[in-house]
Amino acid sequence: MVDLHPLTVAQNARTSGGGNISLVPTQAISVGPYETWKAEKVSIWQAGNHDNPFGQRLTCLMIAKNIPDAAVPMSLLADHPNVQFNYYRKGIGSCGVEMH
């Protein structure tokens, strides 16, 4: 178990917690960036639960077009030589323009 950096908690709240930091765990058991980067192949599974439809498409596009940007952390995998995206079709949602 590791303590998450406060910026990681904030990022997780933005993408997965509806913006509510108090709902995001501050500890995790997971594979970190170092271990991920050493992998021969990175397989990303998008179930549609942890990101909005636009975000799911944005990260895939940025990785496919080799556009890493720290503002979109998953896009840093654009520099990895072998990344595969997988989507749960019912969870991908739709993107549309809305006037507010």
The residue ranking higher by pLDDT, 8 or 64, is 64
For 28-83, write each residue's pLDDT tens digit. Answer: 877 777 788 888 999 888 766 667 788 888 888 999 999 999 888 888 899 999 99
Rounded Cα–Cα distance for residues 27 and 19 (Å): 18
Would you list the domain boundaries of the chain?
Answer: 1-30, 36-92
How many Cα atoms sit within 13 Å of 26 on the Cβ side? Answer: 4
Residue 85: per-residue pLDDT: 86
Rounded Cα–Cα distance for residues 44 and 24 (Å): 21
